[in-house]
Amino acid sequence: MRALTQVFLAATLVSLLGGCLTTPVKKSGGPGSITVPNSNPTAIRNAANFAFSQYGFSPSRQSAPGSLSFDRPAGRMGSIAFSGPMRTTSFRVRIDVVAIPGTNDFRLMPEVDRVTSANIAGFEDSTRMLSVWSGQFKPIMRQIKDRASNAGPGR
């Protein structure tokens, strides 16, 4: 009886995980996610640098090979609201850049963090913000899509 229960639990777990892992890349991501057709990582990075700079963001040192990051100071009211009057606060937008298999398309998925003491080694503290914040970046994501679309494959 115990073996039958274990087999049933294993089958249930496999079916649950299988459902989670089969979401196509082109539909993945939360609010603000967008697909850039026929592009390449260099065109996407250049378009993102331009678009985010228009909104007061600067490239962050936290960028990684599969993502881009941009920081913007929260200002005095943001620092007081989120961390207190004596700590600086920034908003960090990280964009995961995922290639869609079999195409030259890329899925861009933003996530937003609130960062206190940004870029101060050993003191930086980040907190993930609700996914609603990622949706606020839809206009910037559309700008990136418009600038990087149809750049063709490349490096």
- Domain 24-148: assigned CATH number: 3.30.530.50
pLDDT at 17 > cutoff 50: no
Average pLDDT over residues 131-151: 84
Residue 47: exposure state from Cβ atoms within 10 A (0-12, 13-18, ≥19):
buried
- Name the amino acid, one letter, at 121: A
pLDDT at 15 > cutoff 50: no
pLDDT value at residue 149:
94
Q: Residue 116's pLDDT band (boundaries 50, 70, 90)?
A: confident
pLDDT at 11 > cutoff 50: no
Residue 109: exposure state from Cβ atoms within 10 A (0-12, 13-18, ≥19):
buried
CB under 8 Å, gap of 24 or more: what pairs does 90-94 form? Answer: 90/114, 90/115, 90/118, 91/115, 91/129, 92/60, 92/62, 92/118, 92/126, 93/52, 93/57, 93/69, 93/137, 94/62, 94/67, 94/68, 94/69
pTM of this structure: 0.70
Least confident of 46-55, 116-125, 132-141: 116-125
Residue bearing tokens 């600067």: 58
Q: Is the pLDDT higher at 16 or at 74?
A: 74
pLDDT value at residue 75:
63
Domain map of the chain by residue range? 24-148
Least confident of 5-9, 84-88, 115-119: 5-9
